[in-house]
Amino acid sequence: MFGLRGLRELSPLPLLASPIDSECIRVYRPLLPFEKATIRQTSVENDVEWFEDVSNQDISLTKRNLLRYMINEYVPRLINSRPEIECISRQSLMETTEEVTKLVQSYETEKQNLDRRVRSNDFQFDELMASVKFSIPLQELRDTRLPVLARWLYEVIYPLSSAKHFHWSFAKLERQAMARVWGWLDNPEDTLIMTYLNVSFNLNLQGLNVEIHLFRQSPQRDIIRHCKTHVGPKDSSWKLFDRIWWIRISNHDADIEIRYYRSSMRRELVNAFPHISSNEKYSRLNFEAFPVIIDEKTSQVLAAPTLGLINDGIYVECKLKRLL
């Protein structure tokens, strides 16, 4: 059902230009009460240039083209002699769309109520480390409708995910991940561990509550090696690193690079921040899973913003991307 939300009348484009922009480009899809021929005629009469993709007329090219032909031409021509095809008439489909809209609205209301309840009960969101922890009563989780939980989790994990095609991957979460969650809820004895859309899910039953920990999956070695973002001298614009963190660097005159830390860089990291060698907090970290900022010329580590490590003389801001 949520896949049909792509047909909603007004929606934003998936990604903002920076984490501080309040305005975004919105797509308007009005459901017009008249035929395309009327639009074309009006355009011609008012000297408005008309453009149409001729491939839309090729019914062998896509199913969408075939359905367009069926609804706009085939059904209207034969509906009187074949009343059984009325179910795919334009009017019938508009009525179905209205029913789907009402159902989606009910899911949306349930999702918002679930979100308020969960966030009011020790909801822990570590923005820098891209991690979320919370708990839900077992019975409440069992009583939540699957599409509602799937959509809520889809929105919660978005800031944590580096998946390239996240906005087109809801079905994978709903059909695959939720099936595993529902199977686990029938017998929640062991910890459920799974990964979807580059986010790790850990579900564990503690008493009458299900504790859930969501965190970004550690990047693969080739990504650690090749994921780099160049920042030129005096460039203080926001940069999206690995589709997770927005990072902005100010007060610098050198060519700078944002990349993932590798164990071979440990000496440079300790030289830049000597106190971490004796701090237990840093010894427990996964040292191949966080971004660092380095001077391209000297290879000096200037900052590890998600760890709060920033050298004097450079100003760094770091934020997770946010769901629209």
Among 92, 89, 48, 93, smallest CA distance to 72 is for 89
pLDDT of residue 20: 65
3-state secondary structure of 278: helix
CA distance readout (Å), 134 to 38, 64, 72, 163, 298: 54, 42, 50, 23, 43
pLDDT along the chain (324 residues), means of 10: 58 66 74 82 92 88 90 90 90 87 90 96 88 95 94 93 88 92 92 96 96 92 89 91 92 90 87 85 66 92 92 90 68
pLDDT of residue 1: 44
Q: Which residue has the tokens 């614009």?
A: 237
pTM above 0.75, yes or no: yes
pLDDT of residue 151: 92
pLDDT of residue 78: 92
pLDDT of residue 107: 92
Q: Transcribe 23-88 into DSSP letters.
A: ---EEE----SS-HHHHHHHHHHTT------GGGG-TTT-HHHHHHHIIIIIHHHHTTT-GGGGGG
